[in-house]
Amino acid sequence: MDAALPPLTASTLYLVATPIGNLEDITLRALRVLRECDVVAAEDTRHSGQLLKHFGISKPLLSYFQFNEAKRSEEIIERLRRGEKVALVTDAGSPGISDPGERVVKAAIAAGFRIEAVVGPCALVAGLTASGLPADEFHFVGFLPHKSGQRRNKLEALKTVAGTLIFYESPYRIEKLLGELNEVYPDRDVVLARELTKKFEEFLRGKPAALLEIAGKRSLKGEFVVLVGGAEPERAKAPIES
């Protein structure tokens, strides 16, 4: 079967989605790209090294992260100029979504190189499709600013967005976020999706106040996808009958 598949293309940056928890979610295509590429550029080489080892893959690893991405982007571009096939992976999920890979992709495009997405796991899609909230229109925000004033301003600015709002949040700030949602969106439906694809995967649904009460009674661990129902469309006023 593999003999019928086309070989990887030289001077191409492959964006390889990796599991967000459950290792069974790796795709056959992702495994082939990781086996056939020349180098793997990883957000965390230790984490990605364990993933490669699990699947019996041995490849040179190049680290890129928030504070070295400019330098690493230059190195990756140079490798592409030499005709190498570079696989870009993040710690979990699809590269370029709320991680430093975005800058690498922009640099490769600007230099005229080919980009190929090797699709697969993505936390925001997993959370949205199982949330029960409308998925026909949504707005992905990612991580909110850490400073309270900036967070509050961002939430206020999103109040008129009609689609489902999607945030990423850490367990250390989830209770704070729920408190802010209770102040800004007290009547909206909220879904907390945590530990997605893992053993203790859980969806908590309710108004912000109810979820805040749950958070106060138990420790909510794991990374979160937080989904908030969108703004209700303004209803046209019915004409007054004389």
Single-letter amino acid, residue 226: V
Residue 184 in contact with residue 159, Cβ under 8 Å? yes
Per-residue pLDDT of the chain (242 residues; tens, 9 = 90+): 555 788 999 999 999 999 999 999 999 999 999 999 999 999 889 999 999 999 999 999 999 876 676 778 899 999 999 999 999 999 999 998 988 788 899 999 999 999 999 999 999 999 999 999 999 999 999 999 999 899 999 999 999 999 999 999 999 999 999 999 999 999 999 999 999 999 999 999 999 999 999 999 998 999 999 999 999 875 434 444 43
The 10 Å CB-count burial string (b at 16+, else e) for 34-54 is bbbbbbbbbbbbeebbebbee
> CA-to-CA distance for 195 and 219, rounded, in angstroms?
13
Q: 166 to each of 66, 200, 238, how far by Cα in Å?
A: 22, 21, 33
Can you tell me whether residue 118 is helix, strand or coil? strand
123-228 domain in CATH 1.10.10.10?
Answer: no
* Per-domain residue ranges of the chain: 2-118, 123-228
Architecture of domain 2-118: 3-Layer(aba) Sandwich (3.40)
pTM over 0.85: yes
**Residue 21 amino acid letter:** G
> What would the 3-class secondary structure string for 188-242 be?
CCEEEEECCCCCCCEEEEECHHHHHHHHHHCCCCCCEEEEECCCCCCCCCCCCCC
What's residue 72's pLDDT? 84
| The predicted structure's pLDDT at residue 100 | 79
Alpha helices in 55-100 (DSSP H): 69-81
